[in-house]
Chain A
Amino acid sequence: ETGVTQSPTHLIKTRGQQVTLRCSSQSGHNTVSWYQQALGQGPQFIFQYYREEENGRGNFPPRFSGLQFPNYSSELNVNALELDDSALYLCASTSPFSGRSYEQYFGPGTRLTVT
Chain B
Amino acid sequence: GIQVEQSPPDLILQEGANSTLRCNFSDSVNNLQWFHQNPWGQLINLFYIPSGTKQNGRLSATTVATERYSLLYISSSQTTDSGVYFCAVSGTQSGGSYIPTFGRGTSLIVHP
Contacts and interface: CB of A to CB of B under 8 A. Distances in A.
B90 A102 contact: yes
A44 interface: yes
Given A102-B31, A108-B42, A58 B99 contact: yes
Interface residues of B, number: 26
A1 B69 CA distance: 33
Interface of B: 30-31, 33, 35, 40-45, 48, 86, 88, 90, 93, 95-105
Contact of A43 (B30, B42, B48, B86): B86
Contacts of B102: 35, 42-44
A106 interface: yes
Contacts of B88: 42-43, 104
B43 A106 contact: yes
A102 B104 contact: no
Interface of A, secondary structure class, is strand
B41 A88 contact: yes
Given A56-B93, A104-B33, A45 B43 contact: no
A97 to B, nearest CB: 11
Contacts of B43: 43, 90, 92, 106
B104 A42 contact: yes
A41 B104 contact: yes
